Amino acid sequence: MIDARGLACPQPVLLMKAELEKTAEGVVSITVDNKGSSINVKNFCEANGCTVTVTELADGCFRIDAAKGYDCDVAEKKAVSDTVVFVTGECIGSEEPELGKMLMKGFLANLKNVENLPKTVIFVNNSVRLVTLNLEVAETVKELEDKGVEILACGACLNYFNLVDELKVGSVTDGHTVANKLFNAGKVVRL
């Protein structure tokens, strides 16, 4: 049993990754102290072919049990060669925030019309508000997801802004996954 209480993202995922790498077949368990970390670890384990159960404990912590091996299907790992859009704020530019928000909304709305859709769009820092509190933008981003674009929102950022339960589109991710997506992308567009 891994005790990851009090550890910041992406440490719980990295601890689980290290333990799963040492395990050919079996159940690996970890305890975390926030919902965002529980979602990050669950998503990581499922993406790597594990069968996962999450249990909320009486003290507000979460235990994640990941079964590896047995009859579990192992997800095929492929190098990402497509574009990743890395959204780091609610607006494009910093001189005129209201204009910047309009530009961001317009960019995301037009993204679904480009010839080559990005493989992934990642929201970090205060841009997580775009897929939580901003219902109009979240609806636009949902159209991208419906076209097959992977939508990810930083779990640590959602936790920081207390928005984990407000996510309207996409899934919660962790720093380890974000780094892998960025470094394995054919091209990264940062906004």
Q: Where are the domains of the chain?
A: 2-68, 83-190
Which of 68-72, 92-96, 181-185 is least confident?
68-72
Residue 182 has pLDDT above 80, yes or no: yes
Which of 67-76, 118-127, 135-144 is least confident?
67-76
Residue 183 has pLDDT above 90, yes or no: yes
Residue 187 has pLDDT above 80, yes or no: yes
Contacts of 35 (CB under 8 A, 6+ apart): 62, 159, 164, 165
So what's the pLDDT on residue 71? 58
Where does the pLDDT of residue 49 fall: very low under 50, low under 70, confident under 90, or very high at 90 and above? confident
Place of tokens 């929201």: 123
Q: What is the fold, at CATH topology level, of the domain defined by 2-68?
A: Translation Initiation Factor IF3 (3.30.110)
Nearest to 174 by CA among 28, 1, 32, 20: 32
So what's the pLDDT on residue 116? 85
So what's the pLDDT on residue 17? 92
Q: Are strands 26-32 and 62-68 parallel, antiparallel or unpaired?
A: antiparallel
CATH architecture, range 83-190: 3-Layer(aba) Sandwich (3.40)
Record the pTM: 0.70
Span 47-75, average pLDDT: 82
Q: Which two tokens stand for residue 3?
A: 């005790």
